[in-house]
């Protein structure tokens, strides 16, 4: 059974209204091309300038107007609409970077809070502390979408193979990677990481990206991509502006790839011995 999926590439700004209007237009385009499942990028609803800007627009989960709007888009288009992520206000003043999968009837099928947060001090640049703004999740999620098993990740998660392996072992056939990659890291690592995660897991990978120069002053890499379980790039978009990438995927190709290279089945538990002195 073939399944048509779509990656929605966006250039989100700081105001939720226009962003959700843009998402609706892309979802309609995907549905018109026959897609049954569509993924939008990380921070689709709002790509804020700062923590203060985020506080001004982010809302709690209960009664969240962005989710209500996306539920309406799902009902209108008949898609399994996957909002790559939005910031959800938490009681402690931080936010959850939350991915939300909606069924065609607008109900919530699954949510996933980004597990891995980017905390780093970059020499000569500046200090990044994503954990100062966001609370990391601690639950990996596999959900059903349009008859396929979907493993959910967000952006920086792509650098952590153990998460993707856990999703594959739990039954995922397709792994979602909504993202807002910077241009330098995107040029160096984006395609390599996506193809590696597909090859290691024997899963399809769909990556919907933010692209171009944003209202908040940041520039993102774009190049939304769909990769098959053998690591081949099925399709990709460019690095500027919005667009819709559609591809047909075959769940049988997952079993075929895993049969040819049974890395999931062949993996073994092991202990680690560290000998710092080099003595035998």
HEC sequence for 172-217: CCEEECCECCEHHHHHHHHHHHHHHHHHHHCCEEEECEEEEECCCC
* Catalytic residue chosen out of the listed positions 155, 187, 200, 203: 155
7, 8, 37: which is closest to 227 by C-alpha? 7
Using alpha carbons, select from 235, 244, 147, 250 the residue that is nearest to residue 194.
235
Pairwise CA distance, residues 193 & 203, whole Å? 13
Between CA 113 and CA 138 the distance in angstroms is 8
Is 155 labeled as catalytic in the residue annotation?
yes
Active site residue 42: yes
Please state, in angstroms and as integers, the Cα–Cα distance from residue 227 to each residue in 7, 77, 189, 231, 249, following that order: 11, 25, 15, 6, 10
Q: List the catalytic residue out of 76, 114, 127, 203.
A: 114
* Structure-token pair, residue 73: 């888009």
Nearest one of 86, 96, 178, 91 to 131, comparing CA atoms: 96
Yes or no: say if 208 and 41 are a contact pair by the CB < 8 Å rule: yes
Q: Which residues pair with 179 in a beta bridge?
A: 209
Distance CA 210, CA 39 (A): 12
The structure tokens 């241009």 sit at 183
Question: Hey, which residues are catalytic here?
Answer: 42, 114, 155
């Amino acid at each position: 059974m073939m399944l048509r999926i779509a990656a929605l590439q966006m250039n989100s700004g700081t105001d939720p209204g226009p962003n959700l209007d843009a998402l609706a237009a892309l979802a309609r385009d995907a549905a018109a091309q026959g897609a049954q499942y569509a993924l939008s990028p990380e921070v689709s609803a709002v790509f804020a300038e700062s923590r203060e800007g985020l506080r001004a627009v982010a809302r709690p989960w209960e009664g969240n107007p962005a989710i209500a709007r996306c539920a309406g888009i799902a009902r209108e288009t008949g898609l399994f609409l996957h909002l790559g992520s939005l910031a959800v206000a938490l009681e402690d003043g931080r936010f959850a970077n939350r991915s939300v999968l909606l069924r065609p009837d607008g109900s919530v099928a699954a949510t996933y809070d980004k597990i891995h947060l980017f905390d780093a001090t970059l020499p000569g640049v500046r200090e990044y502390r994503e954990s100062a703004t966001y609370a990391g999740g601690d639950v990996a999620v596999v959900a059903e979408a349009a008859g396929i098993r979907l493993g959910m990740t967000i952006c920086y998660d792509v650098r952590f193979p153990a998460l993707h392996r856990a999703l594959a072992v739990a039954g995922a056939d397709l792994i979602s990677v909504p993202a807002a990659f910077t241009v330098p890291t995107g040029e160096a690592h984006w395609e390599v990481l996506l193809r590696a995660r597909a090859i290691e897991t024997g899963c399809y990978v769909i990556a919907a990206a933010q692209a171009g120069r944003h209202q908040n002053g940041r520039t993102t890499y774009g190049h939304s991509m769909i990769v098959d379980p053998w690591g081949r790039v099925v399709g990709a978009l460019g690095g500027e502006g919005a667009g819709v990438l559609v591809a047909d995927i075959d769940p049988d190709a997952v079993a075929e790839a895993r049969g040819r290279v049974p890395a999931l089945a062949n993996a073994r538990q092991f202990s680690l011995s560290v000998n710092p002195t080099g003595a035998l």
